[in-house]
Amino acid sequence: MTDVETRSDGLPILYSFRRCPYAMRTRMALSKSQTVCALREVLLRDKPAEMMVASSKGTVPVIVLSDGTIIDESLDVMLWSLGKSDPDGWLQPQRGTLDDMMALISEADGPFKTHLDRYKYGTRYPGEQALDHRAAGLVFLQQLDTILAASSYLFGDRPALADIAIFPFVRQFANTDRDWFDALSLPALQAWLAGWLGSDLFKGVMQKWPVWQTGDTEPLFPQKDAA
């Protein structure tokens, strides 16, 4: 197989893994923008050949548009879909700018994610002290808590791109040791996290899909009005 597979009915194909935080944030943006895709749920240990032809770096999410355009970075898919339809103004925060949001997202995707991985998957990083990375990650969470003590969301009193982009990683950090996280004094961050976890938007993107195999008919995502 050498050609990238596209759909003739105009629907994008989305390669996704339900539990991946990058794929979660992407599905939240696709859901909000009501960008209907043919969803191919993959197993990371057994990625479909069709996905590897589209993007050889082998990470999810990947979206293949019907004209053959491939977008294989989660933030780029979010920006693409919200650029087409952004009903709640996620790209135009109430406070600050898109650039300001991108700067905070880079901190989350960069240093915070590094600490998260070394905290959560300590055994994969010999010589690294998981609890040192937990402490370092906590510094970032404290910054978020300070912001959220002053406004309901990271860039004002309504949700925006940064909330969606960062939330799945805070969720992962919290879930690594939920009792420890719940005992922290980060009331604004904890309330913000609980709000996202309980949201219809998040629940809608966390439904279970069967693993896609070549030839299977894909479920449509999002289902109508899932946002």
Ligand X SMILES: N[C@@H](CCC(=O)N[C@@H](CS)C(=O)NCC(=O)O)C(=O)O
Residue for token pair 């995502």? 221
40 - beta bridge partners? 15
From 54-62, 125-133, 183-191, 193-201, span contacting ligand X (CB under 6 A): 54-62
Interface stretch with ligand X, choices 52-60, 162-170, 189-197, 200-208 (CB under 6 A): 52-60
Which residues from 65-124 bind ligand X, rule CB under 6 A?
A: 73-75
Listed residue (49, 36, 62, 19) closest to 222, CA to CA: 36
Minimum CB separation from ligand X for residue 33, in Å? 17
Segment lying near ligand X (by CB under 6 A), choices 17-25, 79-87, 161-169, 214-222: 17-25
Among 20, 37, 116, 148, binds ligand X (CB under 6 A): 20
DSSP H/E element including 218 = none
Name the residue nearer to ligand X (CB basis): 78 or 201: 78
Q: Based on CB atoms, which residue is closest to ligand X, 61 or 148?
A: 61
Q: Which residues is 39 bridged to in the sheet?
A: 14
Instruction: Give the Cα separation of 21 and 225 in Å (integer).
Output: 22
Tokens describing residue 39:
């969803």
Which one-letter amino acid corresponds to residue 192?
A: W
Nearer to ligand X, 109 or 145 (CB): 109
| Tokens read off for 199 | 């949201």
Size of the site for ligand X (CB under 6 A): 12
Kindly state whether residue 60 participates in binding ligand X, applying the rule CB under 6 A. yes
> Contact at 8 Å (CB) between 17 and 69?
no
Backbone angles phi, psi at 134, to 5 degrees: -60, -45
Residue 128-147 contact track with ligand X, rule CB under 6 A, x = bound = --------------------
Dist. CA 144–CA 183, nearest whole Å? 17
Judged by beta carbon, residue 94 or residue 114, the one nearer ligand X is: 114
Helix (H, G, I), strand (E, B) or coil at 170: helix
Binding-site member from 59, 114, 143, 151 for ligand X (CB under 6 A): 59
CA 40, chain centre distance (Å) = 16
- Residues that bind ligand X in the complex, under the rule CB under 6 A: 17, 20-22, 44, 58-61, 73-75
